[in-house]
Copies of this chain bind each other. A is one copy, B any other.
């Protein structure tokens, strides 16, 4: 089984980036005496017109509804993923994009299969468990072994092999809610690296307290990785309620004996696709404004927040620009990336396939943090011209979206572009409750608030309008601050 693709990366890195904003920057009013040209006036009129019409449109929500009802779960390479690709092509065509095309992406398909966990001693009862993405299976009869609990990966690293040998390691790190999801990056290494670290000490399996902020019995899945030369062991997540329950069984010297049984499997290579739609620019067709989301999702929910929302927001924003202002001057390109969840696989393919034309991307952005309202725009723009878009920033500030730092990597899939010179933006969303649902069966349409997703749509549409209708050119992206 080849699982090397899991090593390449995962969305946690980009979440980390989203969370690590610097101090915010308040846009200044236009300098006194600075001349506003008729063309600039026209651009801002477009922006406001799109804003007004977007505020009245449910399009982003309706797109997510369509995706979740008509397709549902869509793990990369699965039958759901294949239906999602057909759905996306049809949807972009139906919405009137001039060009709709696909970009093949080879992915390893992983199937979750059956999973259960039962405490055998001291207090027999079932626990809710799910396999981590990419995990190998247990033997058919499961693994029955004593559990050793650690409060962190760091605590595990201090353990000795004879404490761990043959046992199930339980990583029980709590995570708090935070508007920008700041604590995700602190806890997610349990999920990604737990199996490797536990295996190095001879563990037979690893289970983690779900990387999540809810108070429920949904286990949170998400990608994990193995390392060459380290024995692969099965890895699962138990729900937070179950983690509390299991933790409470450790009293004195009580042995806690657990049986876990997970029948996940690698289902081989499949072809998935980045699905791309364009409104071709009238004046500068080769200059591209790229807005995106990712089409794949984990398999347990219907992928409404992650990342149906992004698909809906990016697609709706582009569609509204065309609908309200007509054909844009620059090309607007919507990219619905394949296989983000298992390591930005579609994004890497995009960069490879478009390496000669990346220089034509005026700006790229991805929405991939649910549907909470946007409160900040971070950029990675050429510093020398960044303030030339101050009218846009001022307009956004009026609706509570302030200008932040200039060191973002953008959303997950576009995060690999700035180092290639592509300017990016990250629109920071209120993600206080995002990790209540993230990667669980509970990521469904009802978690999206219509007003909030519409606010996202409006902000993306305003920015897309500005970028597609003006001459503002923030290329190239600067080197990131160290």
Q: Which of A38-97 contact B (CB under 8 A)?
A: 65, 68-73, 79-80, 83
Which one, B241, B244, B445, contacts A245 given CB within 8 A? B445
Partner of A441, one of B69, B71, B217: B217
Tell me which of A121-129, A137-145, A423-431 binds B. A121-129
CB distance from A94 to the nearest CB of B (A): 15
B446 and A244 form a contact (CB under 8 A): yes
**A302 contacts chain B at the CB level, 8 A cutoff:** yes
How far apart sit A447 and B217, CA to CA, in the bound complex (Å)?
Answer: 11
Known pairs A73-B125, A73-B126; A445 contacts B216 (CB<8 A): no
Task: State the CA gap A404–B248 with chains docked (Å).
Answer: 40
Query: Is A301 an interface residue, CB under 8 A from the partner?
Result: yes
Nearest opposing residue in chain B for A299, CB measure = B126
The CA-CA distance from A441 to B116 in the complex, in Å, is 14
Structural contact, A70 and B123, CB atoms closer than 8 A: yes
Query: Contact at A245–B68, with CB atoms within 8 Å?
Result: yes
A444 contacts the other chain (CB 8 A): yes
B215→A447 contact, CB < 8 A? yes
Q: Could you tell me if A244 and B125 are in contact, using CB atoms closer than 8 angstroms?
A: no
User: Is A434 part of the binding interface, using a Cβ–Cβ cutoff of 8 Å?
Assistant: no
Chain B proximity of A217: nearest CB distance (Å): 5
Provide 18 A-B residue pairs closer than 8 Å at the C-beta atoms, listed in order of the A residue.
A65-B248, A69-B248, A70-B123, A73-B125, A79-B124, A80-B124, A80-B125, A83-B124, A128-B441, A215-B446, A216-B216, A217-B441, A217-B444, A241-B442, A241-B445, A241-B446, A244-B444, A245-B302
A71 in contact with B123 (CB, 8 Å): yes
Given A216-B216, A217-B218, A245:B70 Cβ within 8 A: no
- Nearest CB in chain B: distance from A255 CB, A: 15
Which of A65, A442, A445, A447 has the most chain B CB within a 10 Å cutoff?
A: A442
Given known A218-B217, A301-B217, contact A444–B69 (CB-CB < 8 A): no
**Bound CA span A215–B214, Å:** 14
In the complex the two chains form, what is the Cα distance from A244 to B448 in whole Å?
Answer: 13
**Residues 201-228 of chain A, each 1 if its beta carbon lies under 8 Å from chain B, else 0:** 0000000000000011110000000000
Q: Report yes or no: B125 in contact with A302, Cβ–Cβ below 8 A.
A: yes
Contact of A71 among B68, B69, B125, B216 (CB under 8 A): B125
Chain B residues contacting A123 (CB-CB under 8 Å) are 69-72
Closest to A441 in B: B217
User: Whole-angstrom distance between the alpha carbons of A175 and B396 in the complex?
Assistant: 40
B125 near A72 with CB under 8 A, answer yes
CB closest residue in chain B, given A73: B125
A interface residues (Cβ-Cβ under 8 A, vs B): 65, 68-73, 79-80, 83, 122-126, 128, 215-218, 240-241, 244-245, 248-249, 301-302, 441-442, 444-447
**Complex alpha-carbon distance, A216 and B443, angstroms:** 9
| Least CB separation from A248: chain B residue | B69
The closest CB in chain B to the CB of A123 belongs to B70
Q: Look across to chain B and name the residue whose beta carbon is closest to the beta carbon of A443.
A: B217
Given contacts A125-B80, A302-B245, contact A217 B69 (CB under 8 A): no
Residues from chain B with a CB closer than 8 A to the CB of A302 are 125, 245
Complex alpha-carbon distance, A248 and B444, angstroms: 13
Known: A215-B447, A217-B441. A245 touches B301 (CB 8 A): no
How many Å from the CB of A474 to the closest CB on chain B? 41
Q: Is the CB of A444 within 8 A of B241?
A: yes
Instruction: Write the chain B residue with the least CB distance to A87.
Output: B123
Bound-state Cα–Cα, A15 to B218, Å: 28
A218 CB contacts on chain B under 8 angstroms: 217
Most chain B C-beta atoms within 10 Å of own C-beta, residue among A124, A128, A241, A446 = A241
CA distance A446 to B212 in the complex (A): 15
- The complex places the Cα of A193 from the Cα of B141 at a distance, in Å, of 40
Q: How far is the CB of A177 from the nearest CB of chain B, in Å?
A: 15
Give the shortest distance, in Å, between A463 (CB) and chain B (any CB): 31
The list of the 10 closest CB pairs from A to B, nearest first, reads: A72-B125, A241-B444, A69-B248, A217-B441, A70-B123, A215-B446, A217-B442, A216-B442, A241-B446, A69-B245
Nearest residue, chain B, Cβ from A119: B72
Q: Does B447 contact A244, Cβ atoms closer than 8 Å?
A: no
* Residues of chain B within 8 A of A124, CB atoms compared: 72, 79-80, 83
Cα-based distance from A125 to B73 in the complex (angstroms): 7
With A68-B245, A215-B447 given, can you name 7 additional A-B contacts, CB distance below 8 Å?
A: A69-B248, A70-B123, A72-B123, A79-B124, A80-B124, A216-B216, A241-B442
